[in-house]
Structure 1
Amino acid sequence: MRKNTSPTCTAALLTLLCWSMPGQLLAADPDEDALQESIATFKEGENSVYAPRTIERAEAYLGAALMARQQQKIDDERAALNMGEQSVAEARQTAEGFRSRFSQLLDLRETATSIAKIIATSSQGASDRTSAQALADANKELQLAISTHEQGDLNQTQEHAAAAESGYRKLLDQSLPWLADLAENDIGKAANAGAKQFAPETYRTAKERVAALRNYIDGIDHTPPAHPAEALYLAQESKHLAQQVKVWRKDSGSHESMVLENRDFKLKLATILGMEIDQQNSMINNIPREKLLTAAKQLKTALADERSARKAERKEMKQQFEAELAKRLDEQRNELAQAQQSQMSDIREAFKVKLERETYEQKRQQRMHATFKQGEADIFVNLDGSLLIRLSALKFASGSSKINAKYYDMLGHLKSAIAIYADRTVRIEGHTDDQGDVKVNQALSLKRAESVRDFLISAGADGTHLKALGYGEVRPIASNEFEKGREMNRRIDVIIEAAATK
């Protein structure tokens, strides 16, 4: 027998087992409903107490299967279901093995329990408490025997079983004399009630059981009687029957009422069983018991057949639902795949367009760089997509906005450069150092920017895209503390604005 895992480790192990078993699946693929029904049937039966941990493990595998099903992990689900079915089979085998091996011990427990109940209801005081404690101690040892048997520790099982048997026998040895006295007392009461005459069979059996019980107590018979509590029950029943029969015999009537009550009962039972009866002549209906028994058996068979049919119908409906669900899932997966494919196509197309645009833009920038000679201008590309052409070679006389003729070729190159970006707006910005009056510097920077703009227009550039701005000394790019810095601040910047977003 395989040693069981403790409940605290079950949850940790089941996941590992589920994930490691896909290559070892059985040929049959049980479903969750079948496994759940197997577990429920086992737990409802009397064998459940003999393999509690094993059936708990089966329930854990069922939970793992349900979780794997929600996550659509088919292999993991089947592995968990198969492990669950194996656990249920192991629970059955373990329980049946214990009951077969320790059947006498279980019978002994049943006997001790029945006698302890009689003691508990007889108001025996100290005897009640003593027997209850003895029964509890023996039951504890039996439970340990069940637990160690389930874990596969057969040596410990045998030790606990022997201790439980000793406890039950000790309880019987203490209780049987008291039980025999109580039964003999009730036998006497039954005799006084006329049981020997009015309930002879029950009375005779009761006396035999009491005699067998007394022979064991006195050491005449060394084999304990089976079910000793029945001696007391039979003695009490013989007294009750004798009293009832005497009541009937005192009645001098025809006893027709008894017959009619019996007939009415059989008629009602026949109606419930669906038997054909003559409603017009109910007083003369006498339905044989054999027919009632046959009808009851037929009803039982019909109910079993109906349960089987309902079960098959539920299974078929479940299969249809699963097939429909699988179909819908496939359709959704296909739709998702198509959507993803379409999205990837759009992404590839967008990337292609972006790459083409960037390639086109790089080529335009290269052409623009090629229009200027070395040292005429510095070109920068801003993060927003705009371009800055800094005319570092262009110089003006102090306080003047007139363009020297030696810069005409360079400005012609500027015209060619901005023509490459004919679709964009161009700002021509004038800047000065901080020498002199602020307003004068601002006006001078504007005039210089306008001079460049006017030259470009006169050279054929589209004036609608050109703007002239003067910032004076407010946007320096170097320190005005030094001559070199002031020279850098006296400049013309041409901004080709970013393309308008669509």
Structure 2
Amino acid sequence: MDNKRHFLPLITLLLLAFPLYSQAGTIHSIEQEISAFKASGLHKYAPLTTSRVEAYLGAAMLASETQKDEEAAAALKRTEEMLAEARVTAAGFQAQFRNLIELRREAKSVEDIVATSTHEETSLAPQQQLAEAERLLDQVIMTRERGELNKTQEHAAAAKAAYREALNANYSQLSVLTARAISKASSSGAKRYAPVTYKAANEQLAALRGYIDGFDSTPPAHSTEAYYLAIEAQLISEQVKLWRKSSSSFEEIVIREREFRQNLARTLDMQTPESVLLVSHSPKELIAAVQGLKTALETERKARADDAVRLKIQFEEELQSKLNSQTDAQRSQITDMKEVFRAKLERETYEKKRQAQLRSQFKKGDADIFVNLDGSLLIRMIALQFPSGSSKIDPQQNDLLARLKLALEAYADRTVRIEGHTDDQGDVKPNQVLSLKRAEAVRDFLISAGTDAGRLKALGYGEVRPIASNEFPQGRAMNRRIDIVIDAAK
């Protein structure tokens, strides 16, 4: 009895060591996480995985509405796992292509200035180059997420070149607009009232023109700064001139600056007068207080890190102590648990390989493949078409069906249902018979090609299971189909 009391906490510790199997959050909380992820803009760097996240969340909602709690929990857990994968994918893309992302931001910033700051007719070439660069960036994102690394590098190099071309095409116009902005700032008295900002704008413009004229081979890192500095110089000049018109305005500036110091001092827990007019904290004192706070935070952070290390060591020692105190039978049970986890991971890896083998047999446009929550797979043979009213297989379809046969070999241990479907044109009974004959024709082809007949079952549903509206030709075409269902493992 005493050994059992010690063993139960150990089981709890082991289960905590496997976060993959922890309880999933609620639908509402995960919805909020997804919304925050999309609001951050990171989802655009993992579009395929984000789509899977939303699909699993939809499945969880549907299962929850129909009170299928186990299915809902499984789908919700998969949603969390996919969301974590999307975050990792997006962060990895940002880290790998930071320079490309910065180049894109620079190109779009220049394009925005050129597009909004002039009424003159401009060439469409830069806009077309930028659009091409955006298309190539989408290809970089998609191919990286699919694992097509060679294509990813090719598209990245092409996107970088396209963004650079768009920038080069816009630099001349940007230079003109910046010069105009500097001229306006000068007219506002920027040389006198905002000399530092005005000088910086001129220096940045000189660097931009040096690159345009070929004196400098290195393009400016932030080519839009000169334009925005010129605008800022003009604003400062106009503000200073307003202040000079009122003798009281200088005192207002001092009071506002003292209010800022007072608020900062209170935030830093420094003693400060109640009256803002008596605040006398110097910048040196405030900086010292901030540095003291920073030092205190770093000390606390280090202490927490040390505590984490200590607790980890303590946990490992306690775990080892508990392991050493268990009987051979209890250790065997722990080993069995680990084996169960390991076997599950191996099954998941094996299943992914089988799905990849199945998908590799089909070309784009041949079939849509879906993995259902119960473990079954649906192969929708969108390229398999029959003549109207006929169940005879066109010889041109033989290659597609031969590859279907090879795909099914990846799941030789499972039974397969061949389901025939029609649109709602004509009577119900003839449609059902026609759909069954078409399913049987596919089954007979597979058997003749060497597939075990005992695995195959042909079914005809006629018009009763549409996947699109029969009111339009496109919908009716989608409803006339053959679905291959690979049943879940028993």
Q: TM-score, normalised by structure 2?
A: 0.47
Larger radius of gyration between Structure 1 and Structure 2:
1
